Amino acid sequence: MPLGESMREFQLKATSIKPTDLGGGQTRIEITYAGEVTGNVPGQHFGTLTVTVSALDQPNPWTYLAAILTSSGGIVRISGQGLSIRTGEGHKVRYRGTICSSTDDPKFADLNKVIAATEFETDPATQLLKGANCVWK
């Protein structure tokens, strides 16, 4: 299925990082991000990315939970999941997956029926996360 229009673009800054040794060569990394988002739901974004790393050169699963405090006063909740892999450029990691949004705000009610594709990159050296979400046609 082809991707449709971009729902939102974002550039977020890490505000905290918490690694946890899970044993057996696995590490869970929780990174909290904050920043401004643009697109159909502009506002301030706060979220936590959780990645379980078992091998640096293999895909690793991730989850994301977040909220956008919209410019109009609403709240949009976001959850996502997918896989990540290092890009081979420094410490950068590329993430791809799906997200769902939900809200009680009637202005953004259409988001309650959308599953979107997401793609973003993190750069641990700069602590930035940059990416976009797109709807499927």
**What pLDDT digit, counting tens, does each position of 35-68 carry?**
998 888 899 999 999 999 998 788 999 999 999 9
Position 71: which residue type? S
What is the model's pLDDT at position 14? 97
Q: Residue 7 pLDDT > 90, yes or no?
A: no
**Separation of alpha carbons 137 and 5, rounded Å:** 9
**Separation of alpha carbons 70 and 38, rounded Å:** 10
> Contact 131/6 with Cβ under 8 angstroms?
no
Backbone phi, psi, residue 115, to 5°: -110, 125
How far is Cα of residue 3 from the mean position of the Cα atoms in its chain? 17
Report yes or no on whether pTM surpasses 0.95: no
Q: Which residues of 10-46 are buried (b: 16+ CB within 10 A; e: fewer)?
A: bebebeeeeeeeeeeeeeebebbbebebeebbebebe
Q: Under CATH, to which class is 3-132 assigned? A: mainly beta
**Separation of alpha carbons 57 and 27, rounded Å:** 14
Local structure of residue 40 (DSSP, 8 states): S
Query: Mean pLDDT over all residues of the chain?
Result: 91
Where do the domains of the chain lie?
Answer: 3-132
